[in-house]
Structure 1
């Protein structure tokens, strides 16, 4: 079987969701009042990042943990409703060329996976109308329909993406040479390197240089 692997931020969605998450929380009718507390928790790790004393991936992982803490005590239904509202705001900012490719892969019978550091519940809601076989995001800890106490998330990033892909496809005979992958960042290099048809989408400078060197396809819009 052929597979098609898609990143989310700056690939399916044109922008980084990080800024959207912050803005949406700040302006939300119900949860907006918790934004200041969220920022107080975030600021120490953010300042360490700005002073180059902690890497970006560590800062982003901690930011996601702190973000979820904002919703402790919420039900899964409430979380899904929150991200469904966010999905409505995001719907006009999908990369249409990438969406067309995703639909084409589905029509060809390829197994379509989205692999992203974004929250899995968010991916469920934002991508609910697209023909995707699996959405592999950072798992929101739930038990008995409620968000559990947030301690440490298993953030899907870099090599962790490979682990999640292998887990999902462990019983599938994949033709990797004829498969496809789409990503925007040098951090996606491991996933892009899995397949015979890697595509750099709105690539950052490092990925763009590498993609040109390797002769990979590049989508710039």
Structure 2
């Protein structure tokens, strides 16, 4: 039996958030200006820990992307994965991923960030991906995610829906925030901010 390893992306594989830079590089300036005004209460609530990141991300995504051309956003996602992501990938994380692959382990990135730039990055390294998936209709982005924001309990459920964990000798999980706790609870070998935590 081989092992399986689940990696959060932002803050675990990367040294910083990838979602915000992608937003600033992609959303039209007119929408950005309008969004700052409309989202101000949500941003304040998030900073005061009154609302969850899942709520804020969904508001940003809808205001910023609804109605935009899906093919254009896919191309921008590909460019972002090739030009920006390499700048923020932790060498330690990439080494650990490559160590798992060398062992023959199944490696999966599990992230609340968007598939438009995570998918090409994961494909480059031969990794599976569970994440927030952009929904489209008639070539336009709807402004919602296909299966919801992939964080907290959704991360855990997406894993259980897609993988039979009883088939693996060991389950590794790597995370860095409270949004990863549910995923980490599945692990026999868990790592929080790259420090080992007690196995279940």
One fold, TM greater than 0.5?
yes
Q: 1:109 deviation in Å?
A: 1.5
Matches within 5 A, 1:119-198: 119-132=114-127, 134-144=128-138, 146-151=139-144, 154-170=148-164, 173-175=166-168, 178-198=170-190
Report the TM-score when normalising by structure 1.
0.76
Q: Find the aligned partners of 1:195 and 1:151 in 2 and give their Cα distance.
A: 30
Q: 1:150 deviation in Å?
A: 2.2
Q: Find the aligned partners of 2:104 and 2:155 in 1 and give their Cα distance.
A: 23
Report the TM-score when normalising by structure 2.
0.83
Secondary structure in structure 1 of the residue aligned to 2:130: strand
| Unpaired runs of at least 5, structure 2 | none
- Once the two structures are superposed, residues 60-79 of structure 1 have per-residue CA deviations (whole angstroms, 9 ceiling, x without a partner) of 3322332322xx1403x211
Q: Find the aligned partners of 1:124 and 1:139 in 2 and give their Cα distance.
A: 10
| Unpaired runs of at least 5, structure 1 | 203-207, 217-221
Match of 1:41 in 2: 38
Structure with the higher strand share, 1 or 2: 2
Q: Find the aligned partners of 2:159 and 2:168 in 1 and give their Cα distance.
A: 14
1:110 alignment partner, one of 105, 112, 116: 105
Q: Contact 2:173/2:183 (CA < 8 Å) preserved in 1?
A: yes
Q: Find the aligned partners of 1:201 and 1:93 in 2 and give their Cα distance.
A: 16
Match of 1:80 in 2: 74
Q: Contact 1:2/1:175 (CA < 8 Å) preserved in 2?
A: yes
